[in-house]
Amino acid sequence: MSELVVTRVGPESAAQVLDIVLTAFSRRPPLDPPADALGETVESVAAKLAGFGGLLATQGGEPVGTLVFDPVGPTMWLRRFAVVPSEQGHGIAHALVDAAVETTYAAAQESGEVFEDLAVVAREELPRNVRFWVRQGFHEIGRTPPSIRMHRPLRTTVVEVPDADAMRALGARMAGRLEAGDLLVLSGQLGAGKTTFTQGLGEGLEVRGPITSPTFVIARVHPSEREGGGPALVHVDAYRLGSVDELDDLDLDTDLDDAVTVVEWGEGKAEGLSDSRLDIRILRALAGEHSAEDDPDALASDERRVEITPIGPRWHGLPFTRLGEQVPAIRLALQGQR
């Protein structure tokens, strides 16, 4: 397959953007009321692109996907998001979301503008599209039928994990970005894979095992076995802790500043341990949950979706968008015209 290139574009690309939008939106089932996108013209699209611009995805030089940026306060709205029907199912939509994150973040860094999240409007009548946005880390914020407003924190990275081995591999890759004093707060349903992720993290950090659920002891310290030394891993189960203050009573034989600390069930309890942390949310994929580009008959009962959100100064400027192994080959030409 030829290289997928995503370029930031401006009004000069209005005709190409419009062609993709009309091709994609006209193939959707009839909606009431009809999608506003079907009423666009070259002139109206050019006017929208004259602001923050948009993205144009090309495959082998042929336009295959697009979106238009619409900044409103601290939120970057993604409008006219479209992939031509003949090219759906090849990861182009996912690549556009990744490029939108990188473009928005880079533009904010350059201009000093503050963007906190991305947002889209989905339609209730298109549940597959809604599930696609959920799999990209977007969550429903409000609903005015038939529209659903969905937001995603700008710096959230979403990784699709097909099985336990892939979850351990993700943890091992994450270990390469960590150092002593780092805090990871894990949340997710019972059996979602929090301990499996931590096992991979321990392998990557080269600490003494085995790593099992710390439920009955609340916390375990796994010292480093890395040649030349490395941080220990402190593995905490906060399910039965009333507050972060109770961690002081655990009598750990290492200082948290000298270790990487992972707190399962730590949401709402462990945030006070550090001014920086990684919030890692592990979600079990439900049977039949798939993106707008997936096989509609595929089941995803063993799949997990991992949402990684860096918070605090420790992670400023450090991206996590390449942690997933299933990212399609993509070249970002984000310095294009706007």
* Chain segment 253-295, per-residue pLDDT in tens: 567 888 999 998 878 777 777 888 999 999 987 544 444 333 3
CB-based contact 227:207 (threshold 8 Å) = no
116 domain residue, yes or no? yes
Q: Are residues 145 and 52 in the same domain?
A: yes
Residue 322 resides in a domain: no
Q: Which residue has the tokens 């009809």?
A: 34
CATH number of the domain residue 309 falls in = 3.40.50.300
Asked if residue 243 and residue 135 are part of one domain, the reply reads no
- Beta pairing, strands 117-123 & 62-72: unpaired
- 213 φ/ψ angles, rounded to the nearest 5 degrees: -60, 130
Strand runs (DSSP E) across the chain, as ranges?
A: 4-9, 54-59, 62-72, 75-83, 117-123, 139-144, 147-153, 157-161, 183-188, 219-222, 232-237, 259-264, 277-284, 304-311, 330-333
Q: Which range marks the domain in which residue 223 is found?
A: 158-315
Residue 122 falls inside a structural domain: yes
In the structure encoding, which two tokens stand for residue 175, read together? 């270990």
Using the predicted structure, report yes or no on whether residue 158 has a pLDDT greater than 80: yes
pLDDT tens sequence across 241-261:
766 666 656 666 567 888 999
Model pLDDT, residue 315: 83
pLDDT for 91-120, tens place per residue? 899 899 989 988 998 887 777 788 889 999
Give yes or no: residues 172 and 148 share one domain: no
Question: Is residue 28 domain-shared with residue 176, that is, in the same domain?
Answer: no
Which region among 14-28, 48-62, 215-229, 277-291 has the lowest average model confidence (pLDDT)? 277-291
User: How many domains does one find in the chain?
Assistant: 2
pLDDT for residue 126: 95
Query: Residue 189's pLDDT is what?
Result: 85
- 218 and 126 belong to one structural domain: no
| Closest C-alpha to 283, from 149, 175, 171, 136 | 136
Residue 206 is encoded by which pair of tokens?
């080269």
Task: List the one residue out of 136, 135, 93, 131 whose CA is nearest residue 118.
Answer: 136
The pLDDT of residue 156: 86
Rounded to the nearest integer, the mean pLDDT of the chain is 85
**Domain identity same for 13 and 151:** yes
Dist CA 227 CA 206 (whole Å)? 9
Q: Is there a single domain that holds both residue 141 and residue 173?
A: no
> For the residues 53-65, what does the mean pLDDT come to?
95
Are 320 and 308 in contact, with CB atoms under 8 Å apart? Answer: yes
Q: Specify the CATH number for the domain of residue 137.
A: 3.40.630.30
Query: What distance in Å separates the CA atoms of residue 56 and residue 330, rounded to the nearest whole number?
Result: 12
Higher per-residue confidence, 246 vs 324? 246
Pair (163, 308) in one structural domain: yes
Q: Is residue 43 part of a domain?
A: yes
